[in-house]
Amino acid sequence: MTNRFYYHTAGGLCCTLLVLGLISRAGAQGKPYAGWPNYGNEGGGTRYSPASQIDRRNVGQLKPAWTYRSGALPHDPELDKKAAFEATPILVGGKLFLSTPYDHVIALNPETGAKLWEFDPQLELPYGASEVTSRGVSAWRAPRGKAGQPCALRIFIGTLDARLIALDGATGKPCSDFGSDGEVDLTSGVRLRDPGDYQVTSAPAIFKDLVITGSSMGDNRAVTVERGMVRAFDVRTGTLRWTWDPIASWAYQTTPRTGAGNAWSTISVDAGRDLVFIPTGSASPDYYGGIRKGDNQWANSVVALRASTGEFVWGFQVVHHDLWDYDVASQPTLFAWKDGTPAIAITTKMGRVFVLNRLTGAPLLPVEERPVLKSDIPGEESWPTQPESAISVVPEKLRPEDAWGIKPEERQWCADKIKAARSEGIFTPPSLQGTLVFPSNVGGVNWGSAAYDPQHHLLFMDTNRLPMFVKLIPRAEYDDARKSASDSDRLHGEFARQVGAPYGIFRSSLLSPSGLPCNAPPWGTIAAVDLFSGVKAWDVPLGSWIPGMHTGSRWRPGHSHDLHGQWQAIPGYRCRRPRQTRHEARRLRNCLHSALKESEERNVLSAPPYLETPK
């Protein structure tokens, strides 16, 4: 459905704008730069730029061109705790467009960082929000638009209160001819259960004169939640043009009715072939499927639809009968394979990468259905096999002997926890005793998706390596279990009722008493895979932000201090969380370096090469 337990460090606003600002200047000095017109650059999400002025020889000499501070916080004390800046700006028509965690849309001058306009959607969230983030906006330009024509360039955003809004790219004012005064209510027809748990967090897709969007939903509230429909609207009028429901063929025959299967991540577009590629999430609820028997097509899939009509073309399910919250969280990557075959790469939370023919859905690299463990929960009919890809970029099993800790007693504590849980490798089903899910629902690869280099046919992705503990709780015991939970469980975990199912759940990161993961670092990496051969080319550590650590790089959305989260909680130190000033950030950085120096002397952790001595 969506993902509350995503701890990987997201790129900061300043960093993103710095890169784009320099590229814009490079274009002014040399060849014109085409911009960055979509969330993933092309509609196919390759995130590839041909810009060549910045390379490995001079990247270390870059200096900030300008900084823009969004002022997104403070907003609401409770919602601010969830707020995360995860947006990728787009560069269209000489302007930079971005969104904040609270769906403000901002237009900037890419050369100077000066604000051109800002739109406030006046969110209505009286019941709170499952997620507080916006990953970006989309743009559509009228084919025969004239200079000065209102809304010739339209900027679209989906909001946390489930609206689709069209703005004039020149002024930031709503396009009054779109829907009702510039917006469409997306809650209509979805069987809304809980306002605030049905949202849009990803940038809509654009195909010709259509704007296409999915939805984000709060996990594990109940069996019967909102419908996971994908819808296409006319970019000019907001008229609904088509609807596709991934699980409609079976979900509404269950008792109680199942929901979700929604596309909360980014949709990819092949405009030349009239195709859109929909990444779908799990059917509800995530961890118990006794009501939703079968393989649950087309949840946990990538589905190709005819972009102009919404007609089903093909589907590929990466997980059958999901019991682990293994949504397809990444934008599908469209590329040309060895012989020019149109291809698609699917990166997954399991860390497996599937490479398919884009036109048919047939695998281009081997995929085999492998037997997996059976559930021991009464009424649960787990699927007997799961697809195994030729490519895997993360470990798939955590054994007691793999336990890690900063002290021998912590390592033993972690080993005992692993031993006490069901931990038999990937696809170990949820259980009453507790199951270790590894890779967990944070990945593998999550919404950060992948980037593709067509010159070297390499796919780059950031990965997480964080184990999760999941326990099913019989309905009669749920309230008592929640009331008696330890402070640590409340801090690092989440209880969810799964109303309508015979079990609630508890899930939490598997952390030692010091707040560090029970598996050895690195807890995040960047991996590169050759998509022609299916061979992993390399894998290097990348910092991750872990709950319970004493500091974190996601402390203020819209501010620019990225302090490499994996290394921010060195044992024995409690470096103070910074306020939003450069002085406080520098003090924290000095503290971290002192901690790193001592940890290296004790052989606890080694400093990453990119963490330079503060000046």
Pairing of β 535-541 and β 342-347 = unpaired
pLDDT for 492: 83
Catalytic residue selected from 161, 270, 325, 462: 325
Check if the beta carbon of residue 67 is closer than 8 Å to that of residue 108. no
- CA dist., res. 21 & res. 462, Å (int): 24
Distances (CA, A) of 200 to 157, 298, 332: 8, 20, 18
pLDDT for 609: 36
- CA dist., res. 556 & res. 558, Å (int): 6
- CA dist., res. 441 & res. 329, Å (int): 10
Residues in the chain, pLDDT under 70:
1-33, 544-615
Residues 260-286: b if buried by 16+ CB within 10 A, e if exposed: bbbbbbbbbbbeeebbbbbbbbbbbbb
Could you tell me which of 116, 100, 19, 18 has the C-alpha nearest to residue 66? 18
Distances (CA, A) of 318 to 40, 199, 351, 385: 22, 24, 11, 11
Check if the beta carbon of residue 148 is closer than 8 Å to that of residue 184. no
pLDDT for 235: 99
- CA dist., res. 490 & res. 509, Å (int): 11
- CA dist., res. 1 & res. 281, Å (int): 5
Pairing of β 352-357 and β 342-347 = antiparallel
pLDDT for 615: 33
- CA dist., res. 507 & res. 509, Å (int): 7
Q: What's CA 46's distance to the chain center, in Å?
A: 16
What are 232's two structure tokens? 């296409």
What are 46's two structure tokens? 């390759």
pLDDT, tens digit, for every residue of 222-275?
A: 999 999 999 999 999 999 999 999 999 999 889 999 999 999 999 999 999 999
Cβ neighbors of 378 (< 8 A, separation 6 or more) are none
pLDDT, tens digit, for every residue of 359-386?
A: 999 999 999 999 999 999 999 999 999 9
What are 205's two structure tokens? 């897709």
pLDDT for 539: 94
Provide the residue count of the chain: 615
pLDDT for 587: 52
| 355 bridge partner residues | 345
pLDDT for 144: 82
Check if the beta carbon of residue 278 is closer than 8 Å to that of residue 246. yes
| 118 bridge partner residues | 106
Could you tell me which of 330, 271, 556 has the C-alpha nearest to residue 449? 330
pLDDT for 51: 84
What residue ranges in 93-248 does DSSP mark as E strands?
Answer: 95-99, 105-108, 115-119, 138-141, 153-158, 163-168, 183-185, 198-199, 205-207, 210-213, 216-217, 230-234, 240-244
487 is known as an active-site residue: no
